[in-house]
């Protein structure tokens, strides 16, 4: 059952990778990258269950947080052109 789930997630990852390569806009590619990261979290969880290693769920959660923060940072960069504050003057 879980092996079939892993195969299904792998097929979905391949289709998402195809969308990431062929996306017409940069935002489609970013969405596909975020979706790929989500499917990677699912794959890590299923592999952890198949291997009998529940500590893989902790790794999957950390990866999910990194995926979320990375997606927000990339979207902010493409929207504003910077990740930091543009006002670099020090207050007097």
Q: Give pLDDT, residue 82.
A: 80
Would you place residue 23 in the very low, low, confident or very high pLDDT band (cuts 50, 70, 90)? confident
Here the contacts of 71-76 (C-beta below 8 Å, separation 24 or greater) are 71/30, 71/33, 71/34, 71/37, 74/30, 74/33, 75/27, 75/30
Write out pLDDT tens, residues 41-89: 999 999 999 999 989 999 999 999 999 999 999 988 888 888 777 665 6
Burial tier of 56 (Cβ tally within 10 Å: 0-12, 13-18, 19+): middle
User: In this predicted structure, what is the pLDDT of residue 56?
Assistant: 93
Cα 23 to its chain centre, rounded Å, is 16
């Amino acid at each position: 059952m879980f092996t079939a789930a892993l195969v299904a997630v792998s097929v979905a990852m391949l289709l998402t990778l195809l969308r990431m390569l062929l996306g017409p806009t940069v935002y489609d590619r970013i969405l596909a990258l975020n979706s790929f990261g989500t499917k990677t979290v699912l794959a890590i969880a299923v592999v952890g269950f198949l291997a009998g290693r529940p500590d893989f769920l902790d790794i999957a959660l950390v990866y999910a947080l990194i995926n979320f923060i990375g997606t927000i940072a990339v979207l902010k960069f493409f929207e504003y052109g910077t990740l930091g504050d543009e006002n670099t003057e020090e207050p007097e």
